[in-house]
Structure 1
Amino acid sequence: MIDTTQAPDPNTPMAGFSRLAHFPVTFFAIVMGLMGLTLALHAGAPAMPILEPASSLMLLIGAAVMIVIAMIYIAKALRHPASVAEEWHHPVKLAFFPTISISLLLLATAVFPYNTTLAEYVWLAGVAGQGVLTIAVISGWISHRSFQVGHLTPAWFIPAVGNVIVPVLGARMGYIETSWLFFSGGMIFWIVLLTLVMNRLIFHDPIVARLFPTMVILIAPPAVAFLAYVSMTGDVDGIARLLIYSGYIFAVLVIAQVPRLAKLPFALSWWALSFPIAALSIASFRFAQLDGSRTHHNIGFILLIVLVLVVAGLIWRTGQAILRGEICQPE
Structure 2
Amino acid sequence: MADNSGKILKSIQPGKITFPIIIGLGVTGYFLYQEFDPTVVDYFSFTLQSLFWFFVSFAMMAIRDLGYIIRIRLLTSNQLTWRKAFNIVMLWEFTSAITPSAIGGTSVAIFFINKEGVRLGRSTAVVMVTSFLDELYFILTFPLILLFIGRTDIFAFGDASLEGLPWYQNQFFMFAFVGYLLKLAYTIVISYGLFFNPRGLKWLLLWIFKLPIIKRWRPQANESGSDLIATSEEFKKWSLLNWIKAFSATALSWTARYWVVNTLILAFFGVQLLGWGEHILIFGKQLVMWIMMLVSPTPGGSGFAEWVFREFLANMVPVGTGMAMAFMWRMVSYYPYLVIGAFIVPKWIRKHFIST
- What TM-score do you get using the length of structure 1 for normalisation? 0.31
- What TM-score do you get using the length of structure 2 for normalisation? 0.30
Higher relative contact order (CA 8 A, sep 6+): 2
